[in-house]
Every structure is written in structure tokens, then in C-alpha cells.
Structure 1
């Protein structure tokens, strides 16, 4: 998912350099949404892993 965000960010930079403002802003918005979605899922995953924990080894 982080790879997709990076891809859209690069597309936004290239589109901005070439003068395609609408495409650049759209790609930047998509990249931002995907990045924040990645962060939310990362935090949920870390919390779930911490709550699950591991029992004592016998």
C-alpha cells in the first residue's frame, strides 16, 4: 500500500513539472489518502499484535 502511495506521489510530481495541474493535484490527493490509510492500518496492526501477546512458554 505504501508503494501505491509512492507511485501516485511520483506521478503528481511529474505531472506538476510538466504543467498538468489538475492531474497533479488529483494524484497528490490520492497519494495522501492512501498514505493515511496505510498509517491507520499500521497502527491497528501494531495494537492488535500487542493485545494478542504471547503466552508463557511451557
Structure 2
């Protein structure tokens, strides 16, 4: 049971880290002029960060086992 809780905490951390990183990148790009629809870009980049975080987490899990 403890392993499952640890895995969920690590997954949540990876998702938050990925989303935060992509959000920071998006804010930097927007501050230099943006790419058209700014709000859509923020939403998509944050979603992309979540997927990157999930991918890195799953890859780390597979390497561990």
C-alpha cells in the first residue's frame, strides 16, 4: 500500500513539475510577442507539460522494475 501512495505522490509531482515548466516557457514566449491566440497557447503548453511529466514518470517506473 505504501508503494502505491509513493507512486501516486511521485506522479503528481511529475505532472505539476511538467506543467509548471511548460507554463514558464509559454510565459517567456508570450512576453516576447506571443504566437497568435495567447490563451490557447498557454492552455496547450501547460497540457503538453503534463504529458511530458507523465511520460518521464512512466519511463522512470519502467526502468526501475
Taking structure 2 as the reference length, the TM-score comes to 0.49
- Output the CA distance in 2 between the equivalents of 1:28 and 1:38: 15
Gaps of 5+ in 2: 35-65
Q: Which aligned segments of 4 or more residues in structure 1 are displaced greater than 2 angstroms?
A: none
- Output the CA distance in 2 between the equivalents of 1:47 and 1:30: 26
Q: Calculate the aligned-residue CA RMSD, in Å.
A: 1.1
Larger Rg: 1
Taking structure 1 as the reference length, the TM-score comes to 0.55
Gaps of 5+ in 1: 1-19, 54-58
Per chain length, whose mean CA-contact separation is higher, i.e. which structure has more relative contact order (CA < 8 Å, sep 6+)? Answer: 2
- 2:22 equivalent in structure 1: 41
Aligned length: 34
